[in-house]
């Protein structure tokens, strides 16, 4: 008995990626088998290969789409504002965007080493584009005398690392609202870079 429930091409594909996303985030890429993914979707393992050439591509596609959406959303945000305003928007954007996609974020930086060298290079390039957006803000503010940053490259990485820390503890419905979290982090980031 095959094809038990009709024509599913447009439904099965997204469901596979969603299941892979969940399982990769929870157990790690290497620890998840194609059969586990298939079982979550309600299909046999062989059927997955109608939608992905192999397991590696499944991971790669999830990461690439996440990074592209991140850059796209950031692009919508960017305006010609003064550096401090831009930094405040960046902090809020980063926190909100990432908290909405905990699984994607987790994978995008935990599973980098499981990418083939070519795929890794592509994801790294996207990541660097994102970092550059923040560094430009910091650099602009530094030039304008608003910021006092010893090293803009390090400050960029430090700010992102600090903001990423939110993901390790924030749970919606917890002690703090999103607005409060944003406020607290902005307070620290702002003071850290200001002259």
Partner DNA sequence: ACAATATATGAACAATCGTTCAGATAGAAC
Partner DNA sequence: GTTCTATCTGAACGATTGTTCATATATTGT
Distances (CA, A) of 6 to 31, 69, 90, 148: 32, 32, 46, 63
Tell me if 26 contacts a second copy by CB under 8 A.
yes
Tell me if 115 contacts DNA by CB under 7 A.
no
Tell me if 132 contacts a second copy by CB under 8 A.
no
Tell me if 164 contacts DNA by CB under 7 A.
no
From the CB of 28, what's the least distance to a second copy, in Å? 6
Distances (CA, A) of 137 to 57, 144, 146: 34, 11, 11
Q: How many residues bind a second copy (CB under 8 A)?
A: 34
Please, which residues bridge with residue 194 across strands? 147
The tokens describing 30, both together, are 């290497």
195 touches 148 (CB < 8 A): yes
Q: Which does 172 bind (CB under 5 to 8 A by kind): DNA, a second copy, none?
A: none
Q: Which does 133 bind (CB under 5 to 8 A by kind): a second copy, DNA, none?
A: none
Distances (CA, A) of 88 to 38, 68, 96, 104, 186: 43, 22, 12, 24, 7
Binding site for a second copy (CB under 8 A): 26-28, 30-31, 110, 113-114, 150-151, 154-155, 157-162, 164-165, 168-169, 176, 181, 183-185, 187-189, 191-194
Binding site for DNA (CB under 7 A): 1-10, 12, 32-36, 38, 42-51, 53-56
């Amino acid at each position: 008995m095959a094809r038990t429930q009709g024509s599913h091409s447009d439904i099965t594909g997204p469901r596979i990626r969603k299941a892979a996303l969940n399982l990769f985030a929870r157990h790690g890429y290497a620890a998840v088998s194609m059969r586990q993914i298939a079982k979550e979707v309600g299909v046999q393992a062989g059927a997955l290969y109608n939608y992905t050439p192999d397991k590696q591509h499944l991971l790669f596609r999830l990461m690439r789409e996440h990074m592209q959406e991140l850059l796209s959303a950031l692009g919508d945000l960017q305006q010609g504002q003064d550096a401090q305003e831009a930094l405040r928007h960046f902090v809020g954007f980063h926190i909100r965007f990432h908290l909405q996609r905990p699984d994607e974020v987790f994978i995008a930086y935990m599973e980098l080493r499981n990418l083939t060298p070519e795929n890794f290079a592509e994801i790294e390039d996207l990541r660097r584009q994102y970092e550059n957006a923040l560094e430009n803000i910091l650099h602009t503010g530094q030039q304008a005398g608003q910021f006092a940053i010893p090293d803009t490259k390090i400050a960029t990485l430090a700010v992102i690392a600090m903001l990423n820390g939110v993901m390790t503890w924030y749970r919606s419905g917890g002690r703090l609202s999103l607005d409060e979290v944003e406020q607290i982090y902005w307070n620290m980031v702002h003071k850290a870079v200001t002259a």
